Amino acid sequence: MVTARLVLLVATALCCASASSSASPAVRTAGRCRSFPAVFNFGDSNSDTGGFWAAFPAQGPPFGMTYFGKPAGRASDGRLAIDFIVQAMGLPMLSPYLQSIGSDFRRGANFATLASTVLLPNTSLFVTGTSPFSLAIQLNQMKAFRDRVISSHGKNGRLPSPDIFGHALYTIDIGQNDFTSNLGSGGVETVKQSLPSVVNQISWTIQDLYNIGARNFMVFNMAPIGCYPAFLTELPHSSNDLDEFGCMKTYSSGVVYYNELLKNILAEVRKKMQDASIVYVDKHTVMLELFRHPHAHGLKYGTKACCGYGGGAYNFDQNVYCGNSKIVNGQTVAAVACGDPQNYVSWDGIHATEAANKIIATAVISGSYSYATLCRPEA
């Protein structure tokens, strides 16, 4: 069981090796490991380090209050799991690909943007809030980045060496918005019909990256949507649908279905790419444990948002989102942050706090919640 008291693994890197499709959840094996020279990340708000707000500048406080002391393009009070992971590897935090000022791409790049989907959106950001930077767009950005690096011949001081791509780690943490965007209107069963297309797109992306030299992959599954304060507030459900921990069983079952699809298709991809390492990361189990037993991990509140409006069990109101204010019944009300985000699992009802992200990263780095491992045993 991962606890908040666990110290983030002191290691210069994760380790890489081929992963068998029959591997069981990994216990870290003793062996020789090497560091990754760079990380390239694809995803949504769970791993966006500033891409969305670089494209659409507007993020304000209290985002970033815990670690950065100001908004830092992250949907959290501080660092994300990807931040902790690259820091544990001895690498700097990833610069967003879309950020033109102050970026340094020598150790990787982050193509993730808030509100991104795996599948190409059929609507506008300004209509539904879905990011235009879907996974296919992020992949094309990666290819353009790679072409630019190769054509630079290593002469650009803020770009990596042209030979870095075959040795880098490629992380993929996306899919949540494909699942949640139509839940309110279509329900779980309707959404489930689109999920095979979602995991297929992730599979094709990995194979496309493999074809341009990528060999080390880490793919995150989906967190338990049924436990998030925002969805507990917004999505229709009955009291009978709540489990003993206050999470919605119907929506949680849909997430489990998606995660099984993802795990199975990654096993198939491993068979095709046996010289590649493809790690399935079970973020779902870690987050579910935090929502169910926050006190066991040094936290106090599971299904209650730190930054929100309305108080109550969830402290979330979709009409007054974290950091915003609105006139309600003739009075101005605001969704403000709690004074102790280190005690919460949920930052704003949708995203994790820095405290929760650190626990997730600890679990990822230890290998305890990964299907297969990135370590090579000693010969």
Catalytic annotation, pick one of 277, 284, 351, 370: 351
Instruction: Please state, in angstroms and rounded to a whole number, the distance separating the CA atoms of residues 71 and 61.
Output: 6
Task: Give me the numbers of helices (H) and strands (E) for the chain, helices first please.
Answer: 11, 12
Task: Give the closest residue to 82 by CA, choosing from 36, 33, 31.
Answer: 36
Q: Residue 72 has which token pair?
A: 């830092």
Look up residue 128 and give its amino acid: T
Catalytic annotation, pick one of 77, 178, 282, 348: 348
163 as an active site residue: the answer is no
Please say whether the beta carbons of 13 and 366 come within 8 A.
Answer: no
Beta-ladder partners of 109: 40
Look up residue 349 and give its amino acid: G
295 as an active site residue: the answer is no
348 as an active site residue: the answer is yes
Task: State how beta strands 344-346 and 301-305 pair.
Answer: parallel
Look up residue 191 and give its amino acid: V
Instruction: Please state, in angstroms and rounded to a whole number, the distance separating the CA atoms of residues 219 and 174.
Output: 9
227 three-state secondary structure: helix
Please say whether the beta carbons of 324 and 331 come within 8 A.
Answer: no
Cis amide linkage into residue 92, ω under 30° from 0: no
Q: Residue 212 has which token pair?
A: 């341009």
Catalytic annotation, pick one of 44, 45, 77, 282: 45
DSSP state of 260: H
Instruction: Please state, in angstroms and rounded to a whole number, the distance separating the CA atoms of residues 151 and 156.
Output: 10
Catalytic residues: 45, 348, 351
